[in-house]
Amino acid sequence: MTDREKVTTLADAASLIPDSATIGIGGNSQSRKPMALIRELVRQGRTDLTIVTFLGGIDIELLLAGGCVKQVRAALVSLDLIGLAPIYASIDPAKCVTETEATLVYGMRASAAGLSFLPSLGILHTDIPKLRPDLRLVTSPYSGQEVIAMPAVRIDFALIHTSWATPLGTAGTDGAPVLDRLMSEAANQTIVTAEHILPNEVPLGDVLVRRSRTSAVVEAKYGAHPTGCFPDYRQDIAFLADYAACAKDRGADAALTLFADSPSYEETRIDVERILVHS
Amino acid sequence: MTDREKVTTLADAASLIPDSATIGIGGNSQSRKPMALIRELVRQGRTDLTIVTFLGGIDIELLLAGGCVKQVRAALVSLDLIGLAPIYASIDPAKCVTETEATLVYGMRASAAGLSFLPSLGILHTDIPKLRPDLRLVTSPYSGQEVIAMPAVRIDFALIHTSWATPLGTAGTDGAPVLDRLMSEAANQTIVTAEHILPNEVPLGDVLVRRSRTSAVVEAKYGAHPTGCFPDYRQDIAFLADYAACAKDRGADAALTLFADSPSYEETRIDVERILVHS
Amino acid sequence: MSHTAVASSAEVIATCISREIHDIDVVGLGLGTFIPAAGAMLAQKTHAPKVDFFMSSAGAYVHDLPMLTLTLSEWAAQGRVIDRPKLSEVFSQEVHATHVEFFRPAQLDAFGRFNTSLIGRLDAPNLRLPGAAGIPDVTATLSRLFYYLPRHDNRTLVENVDFVTGGPTDIGGRPPTSLHAGSRAFRLITDLGVFGFGDSGRMEVVSLHGDVTRDEVMQRTG
Amino acid sequence: MSHTAVASSAEVIATCISREIHDIDVVGLGLGTFIPAAGAMLAQKTHAPKVDFFMSSAGAYVHDLPMLTLTLSEWAAQGRVIDRPKLSEVFSQEVHATHVEFFRPAQLDAFGRFNTSLIGRLDAPNLRLPGAAGIPDVTATLSRLFYYLPRHDNRTLVENVDFVTGGPTDIGGRPPTSLHAGSRAFRLITDLGVFGFGDSGRMEVVSLHGDVTRDEVMQRTG
C-alpha cells in the first residue's frame, strides 16, 4: 500500500492478472460487468483463468470465446431475455462448478473472515450437492445437526465496474450493489473500472469497494457494454441478440470479432442512443 | 401478521413480554437504549429476564435495580465517561455471560439463519473461552483446523429505540445503526419505540427494523433518555453522574426513584435544554 | 371503450396471482418476472395498497413501481428506494427478505419440488439449464412459495422432477427443507387453474378457470 | 502569541500517535478515544491529508472530523459520511475496517498481550472490568496495532497479563492470533517514550521523550 493515486490504463491493470489466476467478476448478468477489462484480458491472451461470478452472461461468453478459461463458478449463466448463453451451454460440464447464491455468499464470507468454511442449511435437501462432490458436511457441536460446510471461495482479483470511483480506489453505485462489496472484501486485490473518476473523498452514495481493497482504478466509459451501468446506460439487448445469433451460427471466433477494436470498440460498436435512458 | 397498524401504548407493548423471556436491547451505551420501555417493564414488575446487548449501560443498571434480571449477556457494561456501572459491577458474576462483538454477531447471525452455530477465529487464542465454558470447538472438514463454534444467540424480543418509525413498523436512523438490524432479524419479534411516528412507507434513510419483524410500535418522545437519540438529543451526562452517585451512595432502591413517574418522567426528569444539540 | 376484451392466459394468471397477495406482504420480484410483477401491481391497486416490493435486480425495497420492466429495474427504483439490504444478507438467509415470491420452474412435480438445473439424467443430461441462481436459497425462507406456469403441460408438470433444485422435501420421511417455520410450497397457478399442496403435500385442484375441465387438467399433467 | 507552552503528556502522546499514521491509512476511533483522535487529526493536518477515519460510535467512515468529541460522534459525522458499513460486517472480520487503531489497555505485558477483562485471579478476581467490547475481534484484523498509556506505570505494564483479552500470541510456540497477515502488536506509546515489539516479540525501547532515562523506564515498568 502506497499513498500514490491508483489510476492506470486498462492494459496495465489487466497485466496485473497472471495466467491461472482466480478472478471474481462483479455486477449481474444485465449490468456492471467489467467488459472493457475483460476485452483487454482477451486481447492480452490470458489463459487458464478460474472465473467466479454470481450471475454470469456475456462476460463468461467473451472469456470462453477468447480461450481464457479453465473453470467457471457461477450461480447462473445466461443472456437473460435473449436466452441461453450459446458458448457456455456447449462447453464441457467438467469446466463448470455449480454455485447458488448461498454457496457463493458463505464461501466469500468464509474467505473474507479467514475461515475455510461456513455452515449453511441452504441446498441441504436438494440434489445440488450431487453436482458438488467437493462439499462436506459438518456436525454442530451443540445440536448434533449435520449441515453443509460451504467451502471458502478464494479470489485473487475482484474485477468491479461501477459508475464512479475515486483515484484512491473508493468505488460505488446508486443502483444495485449485488454481491460486489463482499467479493471485494473476499478477494486479495480489487481492480476497479468506472465510468467516471471523481475527486477523492467526497461524500458519496453506496460504497461497493473500499479504497484499501483497490490496486488499480481505470476510467472506462461504456466499460460495461453490452451490459448496462446505472444510471449511465442500459443493457444493449440488440447487441446481445446479434452476439447470440453470431455465436450460434458462426461460432466463437466470429462472435469475438463483435468485440474487436476497429479502431475503437466504443466508437464502432456502441450505438449510444440505443442505450441511453431518457426519463 | 395482519394488515392493521401496529401502534400501541408502552403498557401494552411491554405486556407482550412475559417473565423469563430473553430480550435483546439495541443501541449502544451512549445512545438509543429503549429506556421508556425498560421503565415500563420495571413498573410492571417483570422478572427473570435474560438480557442480550452489545454495549450495555444504564439500560442494564435499571433492569438490575428493578429486580428484572436473571442473566446479562453483553460485550461491555459501563456508564462510559462516568465510569463503572455500579450495580452491574457488584452483582454475582455467575449472572454475567461474557460476550464480544464477534460472539454476539456470529451468534445472532446463526440464529437468524436457523443454525445452531457459526465458526469464528475470533477470541481463539485469548483467555475469553475460560469465561465461557459453554463454547465448543469445531473442526473444519476441509483444512482440519479447529475453530470456535459460536453458539446461536436466541432472542425472543428485540427492543429497538429509533428516531423514526412508521405505523406498520419500519424503523430507522440517520445515525449509527450499531447491531440493531441483525438483532431484529435474529429475534422472534421486535418491539419498536420511536421519537417520531411518520406516515407509512415514505422513502427514508437507513432501515434498522423491517416492518415484517415488528409486533408493536410505540411513540416515545425522549424515550431513550438518559441515553441520546440522534439527531433529536444527546446523552444526558449530568443525569448519569447523578445516577452513579446515588446508586453508589444510597443503593439500587434510591437510584430507582430517579426513574419514577411523578407524575411524568418526561416532564420532571428531563432538562431538555441540557440535551438538545445546537449546531 | 367499446371493444370486447378476452383475457389472455397471462392476464388470467396475473389476476390469480394478485388474489394470493395479502395487504402487508413484501413481494419478491426477480429478474424477468413480468407476470408476477403485473399481478402484484394489480393487488396493490385493488385490495392490498400496503404491499411493498423487493426488486432483486435493483437490490432494493420499494413501495411504488412506476412501470413493468424487464431491464430497467434500477431506473424504476430510482428515488423510490425504501431500504437497500445487502444481497449477502438476503442470500445467507439472515434476512427473511420477502413473504411471497412467484417462480416459474422448468419442471415441477406432484410434491411441489422444482427443477431449474438440468433435464434428463444427472450423469448424461439432455439439457443443462442456465443455473439455479438464488432460488433454492430464497424459497427456503418464504412465508408462502408460489409457482406459475403460462402453459400447463405434461413435460413441465411431472410426477417426479429429474433433479431437485429446491422446494419442500417433507415427503417420504425426509425432513423439511424449510429453514423457517411456515416455508412451504403453497400454490401453483397455470393457464388452467389454481392448485394447492394440501395436507398430504400432494398437488390438488383448488379452482379451475372458466370452462376448463378436470379431464383437460389430467391430460396436460404428467 | 507570546506565552511559552510546555507540552502535556497527552499532547506528547498525540504527537507521537500522529507520526505513526500513514497518508492512506484508515484510522479506527472507538468510544472515548480522545488522544488518538487528536493525534489522527494532527496527522491529517500535517503529513497525511488523505487519512480517513472510521468512527465506531457513529458507525461511519468520514474524511473530515469537525471537532474532538466524546459523546457527539453522530453529530460530528453528520453530512460527512463517506460509507456506512454494517457493524456486523466489521466485527465478523469480513471487512478489514481499519488499518490502524490505538487502544488503551488496563494491563499490557512484555509480549504485547492486553487485558481489559479482569484484574487478579480468574476464579476470584480483585476487579472485574467493564468488558472487552469488540477489541479482541478488531485487533486481530489491523495492519498495525498500537497501544497508548497516558501514564507509564508498573501496575499497567506487567511481565504477564492476568488475563489475555487479546493481542499477538505468536510467542512460546503458540500460533498467532492474527486472522490476516500482518496483524500484530506494533508499538506502545506512553508518557515516557515509544516502544516496539521487535523480532523477538518482546517489548523494547524505540525512543524516549526529552530527558527521560532508561532507569526511569525500568522503574515504572513491571
For residue D176, what pLDDT is reported? 41
Q: Characterize the bridge pairing of strands A117-120 and A69-77.
A: unpaired
One-letter amino acid at B108 equals: M
Q: Which residues contact residue D93 at a Cβ distance below 8 angstroms, ignoring those fewer than 6 apart?
A: A112, A113, A114, B102, B120, B121, B122, D137, D140, D141, D179
Contact B132, B98 (CB under 8 A): yes
Q: What is the pLDDT of residues B4-28, one digit of tens each?
A: 589 999 999 999 999 999 999 999 9
Residues β-bridged to residue A24: A52, A158
Write out residues in chain A with pLDDT < 70, as ranges: 1-4, 200-205, 263, 279
Q: What is the pLDDT of residues A201-215, one digit of tens each?
A: 665 568 899 888 999
Taking phi first (over 0 means left), then psi (-120 to 50 degrees means alpha), and beta for anything else, what does residue A29 get? Answer: alpha
Residue-level pLDDT at A103? 93
Give C201's pLDDT tier (boundaries 50, 70, 90). confident
**Helix, strand or coil for residue D139?**
helix
Mutation target among D29, D61, D71, D160 for the B interface, most CBs of B within 10 A: D71
pLDDT grade for C180, boundaries at 50, 70 and 90: very low
Instruction: Return the CA Rg of chain D.
Output: 17
Cα torsion for C160, C165, C167, C169, to the nearest 10°?
60
Please name the residues in contact with B18: beta carbons below 8 A apart, sequence gap of 6 or more.
none
* Banded pLDDT at C105 (limits 50, 70, 90): very high
Q: Which residues of chain A does D86 touch, with a Cβ-Cβ cutoff of 8 Å?
A: none
Give me the residues paired with residue B159 across strands: B25, B191
Single-letter amino acid, residue A123: I
| Structure-block grid coordinates of residue B54 | 452489545
Q: Do C58 and A124 touch (CB under 8 A)?
A: no
* B-D contacts (CB, under 8 Å): 144
Res A233: pLDDT: 96
pLDDT for D94 beyond 50: yes
User: What integer pLDDT is reported at residue B1 of this predicted model?
Assistant: 37
- C-alpha distances out from residue C134 to A122, C119, C155, C179, Å: 10, 19, 24, 15
pLDDT at C32 over 50: yes
pLDDT at C115 over 80: yes
Confidence (pLDDT) at A17: 98
Mean pLDDT taken over chain C? 84
For chain B, which residues score pLDDT lower than 70?
1-4, 200-205, 263, 279
Share of chain D above pLDDT 90, in %: 45
Tens-digit pLDDT profile for residues D9-56: 999 999 999 999 998 889 998 877 889 999 999 999 999 999 999 988
How far does the CA of residue B114 sit from the closest CA of chain A (Å)?
Answer: 8
Contacts of A3 in chain D (CB under 8 A): 22-24, 50
Please say whether the beta carbons of B226 and B236 come within 8 A. Answer: yes
* Residue C113, pLDDT above cutoff 80: yes
The SS3 assignment for C171 reads coil
Task: Say what the pLDDT of residue B201 is.
Answer: 61
The residue to which cell 431484529 is assigned: B184
pLDDT at D90: 63
Task: Indicate which of A104, A105, A120, A232 best probes the interface with C, i.e. most C CBs within 10 Å of its own CB.
Answer: A105
Residue D182: pLDDT band (50, 70, 90) is very low
Q: What integer pLDDT is reported at residue D88 of this predicted model?
A: 63
Q: What contacts 24+ positions apart, CB below 8 Å, involve D168-174?
A: D168/D111, D168/D112, D168/D113, D168/D197, D168/D201, D169/B125, D169/B126, D169/D111, D169/D113, D170/D201, D171/D111, D171/D201, D174/B125
Q: Which of C2, C1, C59, C49 is nearest to C29 (CA)?
A: C59
**What integer best gives the mean pLDDT of chain D?**
84
Contact B119 A114 (CB under 8 A): no
Residues 6+ apart with CB under 8 A from D156: D105, D106, D107, D108, D149, D222
Contacts of A121 in chain C (CB under 8 A): 93, 140, 179
Give the percent of chain A with pLDDT over 90.
78
Give the total residue count for chain B. 279
Compute the half-sphere exposure of residue B100: CA atoms within 13 Å on the CB side of its CA.
Answer: 30
Q: How far apart are CA C100 and CA C58, in angstroms?
A: 18
Report the percent of chain A where pLDDT is more than 70.
96
If one compares D72 and C99, the residue with the highest pLDDT of the two is: D72
What pLDDT score was predicted for residue D172? Answer: 40
What pLDDT score does D184 carry? 61
C166 secondary structure, DSSP code: B
Q: What proportion of chain C, given as a percentage, has pLDDT over 90? A: 45
Cell numbers 462476460 correspond to A59
Distance CA C161, CA C111 (A): 9
Nearest CA in chain D to A3: D24
3-state DSSP call for residue B98? strand
Average of per-residue pLDDT values in chain B: 92
Q: pLDDT tens digits, residue range C34-50?
A: 899 999 999 999 999 99
Alpha-carbon distance of B260 to B30, in angstroms, equals 21
Among residues C95, C89, C94, C104, the alpha carbon closest in space to that of C30 is found at: C104
* Residue B160 and residue D196 in contact, taking contact as beta carbons nearer than 8 Å: no
Closest CA to A28 of A125, A157, A173: A173
Q: Which of C26, C94, C180 lies nearest to residue B109, judging by beta carbons?
A: C94
The pLDDT of residue D181 is: 38
- Chain A interface, mutation test: which of C94, C115, C128, most A Cβ atoms within 10 Å? C128
Report the 10 Å Cβ neighbour count for A252.
Answer: 17
pLDDT of residue B2: 43
Residue B268's pLDDT is what?
81
The shortest CB-CB distance from C24 to any of B168, B186, B203 is to B168
Whether residue B175 contacts residue B135, with contact meaning beta carbons closer than 8 Å, is answered with: no
The label of the residue with cell 456501572 reads B85
